[in-house]
Amino acid sequence: MNRASSPTASAPVGRLTTPRAAVPVEESRKPAPDALTIGRRLRHVRQESGQTLGDVAQTVGMSASALSLIENGKREPRLSVLTALAEALGTPLAELLATAPPTRRAALEIRLERAQRADSYHQLGLPAVKIGPRLPMEALEALVGMHEAMASVQAERAATPEHARMANAELRMRMRAADNYFGEIEGMAAELLTAIKHPGGPISRAAVDRLAGHLGYSLVHTSDMPGSTRTVTDMTHKRVYLPQPEAGQHDSRSLALQAIGHLVLGHQVPADYAEFLSQRVEINYFAAALLMPEQDVVPRLQDAKQAKDIAIEDLRDAFAVSYETAAHRFTNLATRHLDIPVHFMRISREGVIYKAYENDGVSFPRDATGAIEGQRVCRQWTARRVFEQPDLSQAFQAYTDTRSGTYWCTAVVDRTSDGLFSVNVGVPYQSVKWMRGRETTHRSQSRCPDPSCCHQPPAELAERWTGHAWPSARAHSHLLAAMPPGVFPGVDDTEVYTFLERHAPTG
Ligand SMILES: [Zn+2]
């Protein structure tokens, strides 16, 4: 099912984006009567009885303006007041407390009143339409219809963590089906490299500048980037703003190439979280395809396979990229060009998955939605055992017997300001003959998800401590939290526009 109503649903074809499932919209109304419904029923009954506001107010001993506030739903009446009003109007109390609005018009008025009171409407800075007998029925119908359509679009945009997890799981399945190889993006990258007459090998900062120039853009490094952004592209003046490159920081070539990727791949403002995620994967792929061009990497890998000496660190060193970029790029090309199925993961020191990919049958822990991010991998896996090694600067290789077969993995510890992570690449036993480091004697058994493997504490300890410990969990709330609202999720628009204004060329 495609959301045909969305004007931004035109997705780039042939890459990662496929039609998305519609998000169910909450349509149930509150069962208990609220102040608005009570007010409308009260006014209806009063008008039917032919009495004025003043008449009824006097009978129950309150001011006409106070009664008016109640009828307009702006004040919640106490039960004693409601009982007195029912008596004055000669109607049972239950009639005033019924949940259904008295007429269709009243129902529409209540819905419009609610919509106009919502914070999301106030944020638009538009005036509230006066709801009264002079508002034509068709205007009322149209306004209510538009408010409610807008609310449902907003509900779809605000992905819940569960939607986010499902979108992630679906995206990983599509990457797996393509063996993590995207020919269209490889083709675009190759064309661009030809256009700037790249001689081959690693791409320099100067070459990235030429690439931007070829597309009509210039790269501007600045030290006052808005805090909520990594890069900002000024599409009017054709500039890409980037942070000043600092030692140990993000590779600025990679950031620039990702920003350029949005332009080259024809990305539109993402219509929902799934499209946002697809775009992130695509720009990452695009940047990697330029940093480590297919036509340069593949011959190297083929030679290394011939020599039974494939090593991720050789790719890292040859193309001046991070180990993670090299490892991830290896997963793009290994199955397609070398016929080697692979898995990849980035996990925290606690074993929690941040990123992972597999097409070699390795069994990642997953939740009910199929998502693996935030799950904890087996303690016996190489990705975790690497943290126990005496020298964390060395790559660690080991075999692991799992319920889906034996895998050989190589893992490296990545030190970041957020703590230690491990980056792990693995292949099934039958492919290990091509890999450097296969002679390792490290070997472990993983019986996960059998709880007795590593999730269940040893019986002796459990007996001593069950019921006597109260740990407070470190929350991984940033991991797949709901997508923040806004066209560009998580970005502070005010900050970005002020920044652009400050930097835009004058005249
Ligand atoms: Zn285990």
Tens-digit pLDDT profile for residues 93-111: 888 888 778 888 888 988 8
Q: Measured in angstroms, how far is the CA atom of residue 402 from the centroid of ligand 1?
A: 9
Query: What crossing angle do the helices spanning 35-49 and 104-117 adopt, rounded to 10°?
Result: 140
Largest Cα–Cα separation, the chain: 100
Q: Measured in angstroms, how far is the CA atom of residue 372 from the centroid of ligand 1?
A: 15
What is the rounded CA–CA span in Å between residue 194 and residue 229?
31
Q: Which residues surround ligand 1, an ion (CB under 5 A)?
A: 378, 446, 448, 453-454
Better pLDDT: 413 or 151: 413
Q: Measured in angstroms, how far is the CA atom of residue 440 from the centroid of ligand 1?
A: 21
**CA dist 286 → 37, 164, 186, 367 (Å):** 55, 23, 7, 30
Q: Measured in angstroms, how far is the CA atom of residue 374 from the centroid of ligand 1?
A: 16
Residue 382 has pLDDT above 90, yes or no: yes
Residue 254 has pLDDT above 80, yes or no: yes
pLDDT for the residue 275: 84
Rounded to an integer, the average pLDDT of 368-395 is 90
CB distance 168 to 366 below 8 Å: no
Q: Measured in angstroms, how far is the CA atom of residue 399 from the centroid of ligand 1?
A: 14
Percent helix, percent strand, percent coil in the chain, to nearest 5: 45, 10, 45
Q: Measured in angstroms, how far is the CA atom of residue 454 from the centroid of ligand 1?
A: 4
Q: Measured in angstroms, how far is the CA atom of residue 356 from the centroid of ligand 1?
A: 17
Helix (H) or strand (E) holding 422: strand 419-428
Cβ within 8 Å of residue 383, ≥6 positions away:
345, 347, 351, 377, 409, 411, 422, 424
Residue type, 70: I
- Region of 421 (left: φ > 0; alpha: ψ -120 to 50; beta: rest) is beta
Cβ within 8 Å of residue 245, ≥6 positions away:
221, 252
Q: Measured in angstroms, how far is the CA atom of residue 409 from the centroid of ligand 1?
A: 16
Q: Measured in angstroms, how far is the CA atom of residue 380 from the centroid of ligand 1?
A: 6
Q: Measured in angstroms, how far is the CA atom of residue 22 from the centroid of ligand 1?
A: 37
Instruction: Give the neighbor-by-neighbor strand order of the sheet with 443-445.
Output: 353-358, 343-348, 419-428, 405-416, 396-402, 443-445
Residue 485 has pLDDT above 80, yes or no: no
Q: Measured in angstroms, how far is the CA atom of residue 460 from the centroid of ligand 1?
A: 18
Query: What crossing angle do the helices spanning 312-319 and 294-306 adopt, rounded to 10°?
Result: 140
- Segment among 194-203, 247-256, 495-504 with least mean pLDDT: 247-256
What's the whole-model pTM score? 0.69
CB distance 301 to 334 below 8 Å: yes
Q: Tokens 């009171």 label which residue? A: 117
**CA dist 365 → 168, 187, 346, 376, 377 (Å):** 14, 34, 14, 7, 6
Q: Measured in angstroms, how far is the CA atom of residue 177 from the centroid of ligand 1?
A: 27
pLDDT for the residue 409: 97
pLDDT for the residue 58: 92
What is the rounded CA–CA span in Å between residue 124 and residue 84?
40
Average pLDDT, the chain: 84
Q: Report which of 351, 487, 372 is spatially closest to residue 422, judged by C-alpha positions.
A: 351
Better pLDDT: 494 or 53: 53
CB distance 214 to 196 below 8 Å: yes
Q: How confident is the model at residue 12 (pLDDT cuts 50, 70, 90)?
A: very low
Residue 320 phi/psi, 5-degree rounding, is: 50, 50
What is the rounded CA–CA span in Å between residue 32 and residue 14?
49
Residue 92 phi/psi, 5-degree rounding, is: -65, 145
Q: Measured in angstroms, how far is the CA atom of residue 150 from the centroid of ligand 1?
A: 48
Instruction: Give the neighbor-by-neighbor strand order of the sheet with 232-234.
Output: 218-222, 239-243, 232-234
Q: Measured in angstroms, how far is the CA atom of residue 366 from the centroid of ligand 1?
A: 14
Residue 419 phi/psi, 5-degree rounding, is: 115, -170
Q: How confident is the model at residue 31 (pLDDT cuts 50, 70, 90)?
A: very low
What is the rounded CA–CA span in Å between residue 400 and residue 442?
9
CB distance 264 to 188 below 8 Å: yes
Q: Measured in angstroms, how far is the CA atom of residue 451 from the centroid of ligand 1?
A: 7
Q: How many residues does the chain have?
A: 507
Q: Measured in angstroms, how far is the CA atom of residue 469 from the centroid of ligand 1?
A: 23
pLDDT for the residue 20: 39
Residue type, 209: D
- Max avg pLDDT among 65-69, 170-174, 201-205, 334-338: 334-338
Query: What crossing angle do the helices spanning 252-264 and 205-214 adopt, rounded to 10°?
Result: 20
Percent of the chain residues topping a pLDDT of 90:
46
Q: Measured in angstroms, how far is the CA atom of residue 198 from the centroid of ligand 1?
A: 47
Residue type, 356: A
Q: Measured in angstroms, how far is the CA atom of residue 471 from the centroid of ligand 1?
A: 21
CB distance 49 to 96 below 8 Å: no
Q: Measured in angstroms, how far is the CA atom of residue 397 from the centroid of ligand 1?
A: 18
Q: Measured in angstroms, how far is the CA atom of residue 403 from the centroid of ligand 1?
A: 11
**CA dist 350 → 3, 79, 346, 476 (Å):** 40, 56, 11, 11
Residue 183 has pLDDT above 60, yes or no: yes
Q: Measured in angstroms, how far is the CA atom of residue 376 from the centroid of ligand 1?
A: 9
- How many other C-beta atoms can be found within 10 angstroms of the C-beta atom of residue 73? 21
Tens-digit pLDDT profile for residues 41-54: 898 889 888 899 99
Mind giving me the DSSP string for 364-404? ----TTS--TTPBPPTTSHHHHGGGSS-TTS-EEEEEEETT
